[in-house]
Structure 1
Amino acid sequence: MSRHDHFYRMAERYYANGQVDDAIGMLLQALGEDPDQSDAHAFLSLCLIKRNRLHAAELEAGRALELEPESPFAHLAAAIAAIARRSLKQAQAHLDSARELQPDSAAIADAYARLYLAWGRDAQALEEARRACELDPDDPDYPALLASLELRRGDRARAEALARDVLRGHPEHVEALCVLGHCELAAGRTDSARDHAAWALQIDPMDGEALTLMAAVKARRSWALGLWWRFQSFISAGSRTRAVVLLIGMFLIYRIALIALPQNGLPQWTGPLSYAWLLFCAYTWIAPSLFWRSVKKELEQVKLRPGF
């Protein structure tokens, strides 16, 4: 086995165990040995996405495609990078190319499921997630995603069963831990949900889903801060354009109400409305810092494993 292959295999092992930073280090060493390996560039792109380094991930996926334009793995990496950047049409084009080259790939079906999830097409996402599980029933990532989708459509019992099944064989699978944590939270077992979030953060302290679960736990425990969390979750769900339209729409409704109240014989309500709007603006300005300070205090209690 060449030094490049050795480093690549070590990266695969680290990545499977959630040690993304170590995987990145191994891939950089592999590329130091042979910088023209398309798969290493594509794999590095996937690792960089996990660390939210989206521009670098896009560059690595592009380099992988330059080296091997007909590589399904390179197209897959480019698609996942595009999904992370919310370039969904570009992602679909790469996935279509990947499926033409490798029609029976579970990884490509999984990526399609994540694309449709980002698009809000839950039925198609569920269909692709089930297909991924059928194509490769031994990979824990695919039933974990299916569990997440089942929870999203309201089948909590099915989601919990799938997540527990994944965790029986892979007790440190972050996505399954987060799904089970959300199931516990939905059932009102806040302490158990917090334990699952802490466990996931021990494995990967930078995982977005684990941080979201921990934030949701904090939101459930504090109604005042939880109100802000639910508001920002509603506003940020979807595209940036949607968020801007919602915020502008709220302000326009406020301004229209200020004009309409005196014209309809209710001038006494303009003052309270103005004060209510002022309080709302102050709350949305102060609450985020208080909320995340509370989350950080919670995270300080999480003891990380050696190596993180």
Structure 2
Amino acid sequence: MSEALWNAMARAQELTRRSAYGAAIEAWRDVLTEDPMIADAHAGLAQCLIQEHRMIGARAEATRALELDAENTLAMMALALCDFFENRRKSALSRLGEVLAINPRDVDALQMKSQFLRDRGDWQAADDAISEALEISPGNRASLLEKARVSHSRGRLDAAEQQARTLVAEDPRDVGALVLLGEICRDRGNVDEAYRLVMSALSIDANNAEALDLMGGVKLSRNLIGGIYWHIARFLRRLGNRWLLWFAWGLWLGYMMVLSTMGYFEASELVRWLFVAAYLAFALGIYANRLLVDRIVRKELQQFRMSSDY
């Protein structure tokens, strides 16, 4: 590999590290123009395309990387992310299993595994995965943040808050830790402190999706109706995808049982309407939450200028 190509690779890697994904995509393509047989370049391009939500291109690049190098773990992890965002959870975890079979001490893969398991609602398995990552690299900040997120998901607010505050004390510009601390404050009912933390996070990274989502949630929880709605949406989100389906099925089964037995037990019509209300709350919590939060965020951004380069 020529010196110019090495420099182009280094530039693409640096842009990726700085999260300048648009520029990194062009840099990786410049590398592949010079030499289309570099598996790591295809895998790096795939990772950047994922961050830009361009899943078809990301899957194609990751697949090409594996054709060139069947054990390229970066490409495997890119495909795992594609599967995850396309709701193929089992396939995503299976791909991570392949990565860990090649390198059981891959901290990034263990972090990703913990995130996938946490999303599925498998708290203990997520805790085990991130604990293993911390045994390999005890000071890894991404692992420490994921450990705090697992504690938060399990309802261990005291432990999660202590871990998040430690991370913020070490680096006050850690956006992920600020957002997590804001979520914990919101869970405790300290809405003003949560708002202060989310604004601090957005002043550092005005495009951070988690911070923007938290801001919408904080604004929702500042009034009674919005607060009740936010609790419903949070409950459904914490169920995880697997238990969410069971919850929906249980509601439907309960409703059908009530309809079939109302005459026999001479039950009040109110019972049927309570199930209808539960279904409406379920539907709103799943489908309307994203739209409502997005509208709140857009309205808030019209009033405040988060940073000079927003």
CA distance 1:247–1:180, change in 2 (3 Å): same
Instruction: Tell me, yes or no, if the aligned pair for 1:4 and 1:29 is still in contact at 8 Å.
Output: no
What residue identity is the alignment partner of 1:49? I
Instruction: Tell me, yes or no, if the aligned pair for 1:46 and 1:81 is still in contact at 8 Å.
Output: no
Paired position in structure 1 for 2:302 = 300
Paired position in structure 1 for 2:33 = 32
Paired position in structure 2 for 1:55 = 56
| Distance in 2 between residues matched to 1:4 and 1:202, nearest whole Å | 37
What residue identity is the alignment partner of 2:179? C
Instruction: Tell me, yes or no, if the aligned pair for 2:121 and 2:243 is still in contact at 8 Å.
Output: no
| Deviation for aligned residue 1:253 | 4.1
Paired position in structure 1 for 2:136 = 135
CA distance 1:34–1:198, change in 2 (3 Å): farther
Instruction: Tell me, yes or no, if the aligned pair for 2:213 and 2:293 is still in contact at 8 Å.
Output: no
Per-residue CA deviation, residues 37-58 of structure 1 (Å, 9 max, x unaligned), is 2222222333333333333332
| Deviation for aligned residue 1:107 | 1.5
Aligned length: 305
Instruction: Tell me, yes or no, if the aligned pair for 1:92 and 1:115 is still in contact at 8 Å.
Output: yes
Q: Which moved more, 1:56-65 or 1:28-37?
A: 28-37
Give the match's secondary structure for 1:35.
Answer: coil
| Deviation for aligned residue 1:203 | 4.7
| Distance in 2 between residues matched to 1:275 and 1:95, nearest whole Å | 43
| Distance in 2 between residues matched to 1:280 and 1:71, nearest whole Å | 46
| Distance in 2 between residues matched to 1:178 and 1:116, nearest whole Å | 20
Instruction: Tell me, yes or no, if the aligned pair for 1:201 and 1:302 is still in contact at 8 Å.
Output: no
| Distance in 2 between residues matched to 1:257 and 1:26, nearest whole Å | 61
Paired position in structure 1 for 2:120 = 119
| Deviation for aligned residue 1:162 | 2.7
| Distance in 2 between residues matched to 1:291 and 1:164, nearest whole Å | 26
Give the match's secondary structure for 1:111.
Answer: helix
Does residue 83 in structure 1 map to residue 84 in structure 2? yes
Paired position in structure 2 for 1:104 = 105
| Distance in 1 between residues matched to 2:247 and 2:52, nearest whole Å | 30
Instruction: Tell me, yes or no, if the aligned pair for 1:219 and 1:225 is still in contact at 8 Å.
Output: yes
CA distance 1:151–1:275, change in 2 (3 Å): closer
CA distance 1:5–1:168, change in 2 (3 Å): farther
| Deviation for aligned residue 1:158 | 3.0
Q: Which moved more, 1:1-10 or 1:99-108?
A: 1-10
Give the TM-score, by structure 1 length: 0.79
Paired position in structure 1 for 2:269 = 270
| Deviation for aligned residue 1:79 | 2.3
Per-residue CA deviation, residues 192-224 of structure 1 (Å, 9 max, x unaligned), is 212332343455555443233223212321231
Paired position in structure 2 for 1:178 = 179
Instruction: Tell me, yes or no, if the aligned pair for 2:217 and 2:293 is still in contact at 8 Å.
Output: no
Map 1:4-19 → 2, pairs under 5 A: 4-19=5-20
Give the match's secondary structure for 1:238.
Answer: helix
CA distance 1:15–1:168, change in 2 (3 Å): farther
Paired position in structure 2 for 1:223 = 224
What residue identity is the alignment partner of 1:270? E
Does residue 42 in structure 1 map to residue 57 in structure 2? no
CA distance 1:203–1:60, change in 2 (3 Å): farther
